[in-house]
Amino acid sequence: MELNHLRAWELKKLLESREVSSREVLESVLDRIKSDGKSINSFITLMEDGAQKAALKVDKKRSSGKKLGALAGIPVVVKDNICVKDNLCTCGSGILKNFIPPYDATAVELLKGEDAVIVGKTNMDEFGMGSSNENSYFGPVKNPYDLKRTPGGSSGGSAASLASDMSILALGSDTGGSVRLPASFCGVVGLKPTYGLVSRYGLVAFASSLDQVGCLTKDVKDCAMLLSAVAGYDQRDSTSINIVRKDYTKSWEDDLKDIKIGVPKEYFGGGLNKEVKENVLKGIEALEREGFKTLEVSMPGTDRSIAVYYVLCMAEASSNLARYDGARYGFRTKETFDLDLMYKKTRTKGFGDEVKRRIILGTYVLSKGYFKAYYQKAQKVRTIIKKDFDRAFEKVDFLITPTSPTTAFKLGEKIEDPLTMYLSDVYTTSANLTGIPAISLPCGKDSFGLPIGLQIMGKPLSEELLLKVAYTFEQNLKR
Ligand code: GLN
């Protein structure tokens, strides 16, 4: 078995018993990246030198008997909207193609503190805006299961790196499904934690009330390892939740028999691909066989979530992206010395089409005459959606749904039709609107051999139990 095919928890054992070195693990990942990295296009920056130094440092620390962190020697890749000090952070955008942050994001600082080896920055839809990774300035990422298909977006580079064994762990970000959708399309695990559980400091803002750093891994145990490393209170993020740090990797074998799982009927209606539906229903039956009680619930606000999400995320994006004016960050046009014209030309050239579309629409819904009709109304409906969830969580502990209505679609299939593209997020955005944790788990394959994702959503801060339920599901699927 090649080392890059293993899980983090398996490698940890091998590293601790000194059967393998961190450098050997890194080498296996780098070899894989060198052979197929270009064709999959999952990386924007490969940090080969830095990674080699980090791996060497871990090996030296280990041989001198020093205490090592929980992820010592484990390769991790980081979505390119999360700052890694002294390395490019482009956000998949032309406007930040030269931006090198002088600091680490908190999540990255924590990874380094656990002695993880950061291997590179992964490709993504520009500023996280997209569901297919086709909105990247650096070209689309390809799905390792079929190079003609999308890996999902916007954390497509992170998910494709795992699915092609070019990394062991990956960080992504999820504003409306960007960790879960690529996880589902690439057959890996993707967790969007509770809003505020992982610090957003150093995550480049897209829509601040929805953005969350998330974990992409090859299995649930790895997800627990990665979450344990990056979750925790951070003074530098005013929305960070002040709770005691947890180790999510403990006690997998707890008795979960009293747990009730709700199946929201609105998530199984029109637009859902037949094979996805069949597989997810089989997944639910598997959990019933494990002794979980399931019951149908109704979430009438479900069909509003896409409209609400897109109004709010565009409004927030138009405000957040105002900072890219050519004066402070990244790209600046050299065509003019006139200040107004410089702003205009820099932004016209620096941003891609989808980002411009969102800035225009976001500015529109925030403008004086339309604020009440769109932005304020969307905030009200957001509260109604939240009430749906509160009501459901009075009856059940978790909700189970498909992650996406389809499996990975073909590159080019939806790019000309933004509204159809937006519908890919129909099952994922409500977890962001309500701030709850949600995980996507592999749940079989369709007749093209493409992975299907099943989503489990939980109450705020229920990650510990959510991971245990997810683990039970994963184990059942293996049998
Ligand atoms: N696909 C969604 C969008 O385009 C979600 C993006 C995200 O989660 N970053 O906005």
Residue 329 lies in a domain: no
Peptide bond into 154 cis (omega under 30): yes
Measured in Å, residue 32 CA sits from the centre of ligand 1 at 29
Domain that includes residue 72, residue range: 3-230
The average confidence (pLDDT) of the chain is: 96
Closest atom of ligand 1 relative to the 153 alpha carbon: 1
Closest atom of ligand 1 relative to the 206 alpha carbon: 9
Average pLDDT for residues 340-348, to the nearest whole number? 97
Q: Is the CB of 175 under 6 A from ligand 1?
A: yes
- Residue partners of 107: CB distance under 8 A and separation at least 6: 82, 171, 198, 199, 202, 203, 213, 230
The answer, yes or no, to whether residue 411 has pLDDT greater than 80, is yes
Mutate to test the pocket of ligand 1, among 122, 125, 361 (most ligand atoms within 8 A of CB): 125
Nearest CA, atom 4, ligand 1: 130
The answer, yes or no, to whether residue 189 has pLDDT greater than 80, is yes
Structural domains of the chain, count: 1
- Residue partners of 360: CB distance under 8 A and separation at least 6: 318
Q: Is the CB of 429 under 6 A from ligand 1?
A: no
Tens of pLDDT, residue by residue over 134-147, are 999 999 999 999 99
Measured in Å, residue 131 CA sits from the centre of ligand 1 at 6
pLDDT band at 328 (very low <50, low <70, confident <90, very high): confident
Mutate to test the pocket of ligand 1, among 406, 425, 426, 430 (most ligand atoms within 8 A of CB): 425
Q: Is the CB of 219 under 6 A from ligand 1?
A: no
Residue 402 lies in a domain: no
Average pLDDT for residues 405-414, to the nearest whole number? 97
Q: Is the CB of 130 under 6 A from ligand 1?
A: yes
Q: How large a percentage of the chain has pLDDT more than 90?
A: 94
Q: Is the CB of 174 under 6 A from ligand 1?
A: yes
What pLDDT is stored for residue 80 in this prediction?
Answer: 98
Residue 104 lies in a domain: yes
Measured in Å, residue 132 CA sits from the centre of ligand 1 at 9
Secondary element (H or E) of residue 131: none
Measured in Å, residue 125 CA sits from the centre of ligand 1 at 9
Neighbours of 250 (CB within 10 A): 11
271 versus 402: the higher-pLDDT residue is: 402
Average pLDDT for residues 273-290, to the nearest whole number? 95
DSSP for 222-277, please give it. Answer: HHHHHHHHHBS--TTSTT--------TTS-TT---TT-EEEEEGGGGSTT--HHHH
pLDDT band at 362 (very low <50, low <70, confident <90, very high): very high
Measured in Å, residue 207 CA sits from the centre of ligand 1 at 10
pLDDT band at 477 (very low <50, low <70, confident <90, very high): confident
Grouping H, G, I as helix, E, B as strand and the rest as coil, residue 63 is helix
What pLDDT is stored for residue 453 in this prediction?
Answer: 98
Measured in Å, residue 177 CA sits from the centre of ligand 1 at 6
Residues belonging to the active site: 79, 154, 178
Average pLDDT for residues 124-131, to the nearest whole number? 98
Taking the chain, what is the end-to-end CA distance rounded to the nearest angstrom? 21
pLDDT band at 253 (very low <50, low <70, confident <90, very high): confident
Rounded CA gap, 223 and 233, in Å? 19
Average pLDDT for residues 291-313, to the nearest whole number? 95
Q: Is the CB of 154 under 6 A from ligand 1?
A: yes
Residue 286 lies in a domain: no
Measured in Å, residue 19 CA sits from the centre of ligand 1 at 41
Neighbours of 313 (CB within 10 A): 29
Residue 340 lies in a domain: no
Q: Is the CB of 124 under 6 A from ligand 1?
A: no
Mutate to test the pocket of ligand 1, among 184, 313, 414 (most ligand atoms within 8 A of CB): 313
The Cα-based distances of 159 to 76, 374, 388, 450, 478 in angstroms read 12, 34, 31, 14, 21
Measured in Å, residue 335 CA sits from the centre of ligand 1 at 33
What pLDDT is stored for residue 99 in this prediction?
Answer: 96
Residue 179 lies in a domain: yes
Residue 270 lies in a domain: no
Tens of pLDDT, residue by residue over 12-69, are 999 999 999 999 999 999 999 999 999 999 999 999 999 999 999 999 999 999 999 9
Q: What is the CATH number of the domain that holds 84?
A: 3.90.1300.10
Average pLDDT for residues 399-405, to the nearest whole number? 98
What pLDDT is stored for residue 103 in this prediction?
Answer: 98
Q: Is the CB of 152 under 6 A from ligand 1?
A: no
Grouping H, G, I as helix, E, B as strand and the rest as coil, residue 458 is strand
Residue 73 lies in a domain: yes
What pLDDT is stored for residue 251 in this prediction?
Answer: 72
Closest atom of ligand 1 relative to the 210 alpha carbon: 8
Burial class of residue 71 in the structure, from the number of CB atoms within 10 Å of its CB (0-12 exposed, 13-18 middle, 19+ buried): buried
Mutate to test the pocket of ligand 1, among 79, 136, 175 (most ligand atoms within 8 A of CB): 175
Closest atom of ligand 1 relative to the 130 alpha carbon: 4
Tens of pLDDT, residue by residue over 99-112, are 999 999 999 999 99
3-state helix, strand, coil in the chain (%, to 5): 45, 15, 40
| Dihedral sign, Cα of residue 58, residue 64, residue 68, residue 74 | positive
Q: Is the CB of 425 under 6 A from ligand 1?
A: yes
Tens of pLDDT, residue by residue over 432-466, are 999 999 999 999 999 999 999 999 999 999 999 99
Average pLDDT for residues 209-232, to the nearest whole number? 98
Rounded CA gap, 183 and 177, in Å? 10
pTM, 2 dp: 0.98
